Amino acid sequence: TVGAVALDMNGNLAAATSTGGLTDQLKGRVGDSPIIGGGTFANNEACAVSCTGEGEAIMRGVLAHEVYAMMKYAGNSLQAATDKAIELHADKLQGDRGILSMDNTGKVAFGFNTGFMKRGYQAADEEPFVALWE
């Protein structure tokens, strides 16, 4: 799975996620990526989110929308909301999770419970940042 979130010069946010799914999945199985609020969500009022990992757990946890809701209704910061969404319902929803999120000021947050997430970030007139393990 791959994804991107962005803030443009007009202050608008967008999120995009695209995936090849799971090895050996059944024909016709659809994962979290195209489920709005599951693997992909964006609303200028708070943040844009793209998820990766065990799709069934992300869908059942509605994780992308949870990041948005924890910011909008519970006043969490972007990173706090992202970290909480990674841990959400961990007793009932097992599996790898990675969440990429950006708020309407251009701040970014990465959350993941796997120790490895391919990721990158670049803000206006700053150097690009790319990371895997670190």
Partner 1 sequence: MKKFAIAIHGGAETIKPSEIDKKKEEEYRRGLADALKAGYDVLEKGGSALDAVEAAVNSLERNPVFNAARGASLTQRGETEFDAAIMDGNTLRVGAVGAVRYVQHPISLAKVVLQKCDHCLLVGTGAEEFALANNLPLKAPEYFVTPEKKEAWLDKQQERAVKKRQPGSMSD
User: Which residues are part of the catalytic machinery?
Assistant: 1
CB of 67 to partner 1, least distance (A): 13
On whether the CB atoms of residues 133 and 126 are closer than 8 A, the answer is no
Tokens of 38: 């599951």
Binding flag, residue 53, partner 1 (CB under 8 A): yes
Residues 84-123 that bind partner 1 (CB under 8 A): 96-98, 100, 102, 104-108, 110, 112, 114-123
- What's the CA gap between 61 and 64, in Å, rounded? 9
CB of 18 to partner 1, least distance (A): 4
Say how many residues touch partner 1, by CB under 8 A.
73
Binding flag, residue 10, partner 1 (CB under 8 A): yes
- What's the CA gap between 48 and 50, in Å, rounded? 7
CB of 132 to partner 1, least distance (A): 6
Binding flag, residue 77, partner 1 (CB under 8 A): no
Closest among 47, 58, 52, 49 to 89, alpha carbons compared: 58
Q: Site mask, partner 1, residues 12-51, x = CB under 8 A?
A: xxxxxxxxxxxxxxxxxxxx-xxxx--xxxxxx---x-x-
Closest among 27, 20, 59 to 40, alpha carbons compared: 59
Cβ neighbours around 114 below 10 Å, total: 13
